[in-house]
Amino acid sequence: MGEGGQRASLPLEAIMPYGDIKTLFVMTTGRSDLVATGNLWKLAYFINAGQRWLDRKAIKRDQLQRYMRDVAAGQKLVELSDVRLIKTVFIVDGQGDESELERFDPLDFKMKYANIDDEDTGTPIDFCINISRDQGLVIGVAVTESVNVGDFATDTKWTKGTGWAIAAGVAVKTGTNWSELSQVTGDQNEAILDGSPYRVQYTVTGLTDGDFIRVRLGETYGQRRETNGTFIEDIVARGTTPSIVFDGAADGFAVTLDNVSVKKSTYANAGRTVAEGGYQSWPAHMLRRHFDSIALGPVPDSTYTLEVIGRFYEPRVIGDWDSTYWTEEEPNLLVWAAAYIMEITYRNSEGADDWEAKIDKFLGDIERDKVAEEVVGINKMKG
């Protein structure tokens, strides 16, 4: 049982984007505190982790799927996300001719294409899976600055909490209290937008042992900084207030801040639709993305279409209008799975077992429908 509320019945046939799923989660668990400012990341974690758990648990996710995207001339690596299994890879040329690529072990591929950058390009005939770990690939950073007076040359634009002062080209926090330095963007420079990714840079000095500072775009926190230096991080802003905020340790902190910059950036993350490669953005600090890169050999000499047959996880939901298989087909199961993740996170074994039993019953019904469908198909084939 979730904290603070009773479960409510959910519509079983609804088609609901992520925003409605959040509402249903609160209605089901009574956890209205999770939609409060500063807690939305927890709700996002529960829902996305619940979806990933359902992907692994449900028979529906064991079906093979197809992913297609264009590959440009000279592109030797193709990044994919949310990959469970790659079974077969095909390449399609401009005339529509399709051929299956031969799969290589990474070491064997490296030996065959030891000098791949110096070899002739052509139609790819081989591939290997190159598993890497990354927080996201930033492929572009805008020139336009979202922060006003990020160099603190004047004591303007910034709202200073208790203990903050701006002088001599820096912002300084003194005292033993917690407070914020903030700015609502958009009055002169480009506003920070909900759901957009940004490259954030700032310089920190004066931190001592036990203190920390962190940046927030809207409702999305960046990393805690416990040492001095110049930091660069990529954050996806969330929330309706286009603000940048700096705060620190709850029991007080002292710090000097300078050279604050926030510029819009673009994450490259392979989509999951058949029709297009697509781009998605995700806050890198929250759930690190694990990319699977397909290496092609030889390097493509022109534009091709890559077709990957395998098993994939549903893409993570971020914006309120995002939708996946689970939000559209089984929103009740997604809400229950999120509640299950919440219970095990708070180490409530009894509540978690209760939710899992409910989920297993509904998944069993789905599995029986699938088996019945296959039996009908076999009987038709038999004539």
Domain definitions of the chain by residue range: 18-61+316-382, 64-135+268-312, 140-267
* pLDDT of 234: 80
* pLDDT of 219: 84
* pLDDT of 311: 83
CATH architecture observed for domain 140-267: Sandwich (2.60)
Question: CA nearest 182: which of 134, 147, 135?
Answer: 147
- Burial grade of 68 (CB within 10 A; 0-12, 13-18, 19 or more): middle
Mean pLDDT by 10 residues, the chain (383 residues): 38 66 92 80 89 81 75 83 85 92 85 77 89 46 82 95 94 90 83 82 90 89 88 82 86 89 66 30 35 81 91 82 86 94 93 92 74 50 41
* pLDDT of 103: 92
Question: CA nearest 24: which of 12, 10, 34, 13?
Answer: 10
Question: CA nearest 205: which of 169, 178, 251?
Answer: 169
* pLDDT of 349: 92
* pLDDT of 142: 64
265-277 residues labelled b (16+ CB within 10 A) or e (exposed): bbbbbbbbeeeeb
* pLDDT of 371: 56
Judge contact between 217 and 198, C-beta under 8 A. yes
* pLDDT of 36: 78
* pLDDT of 154: 95
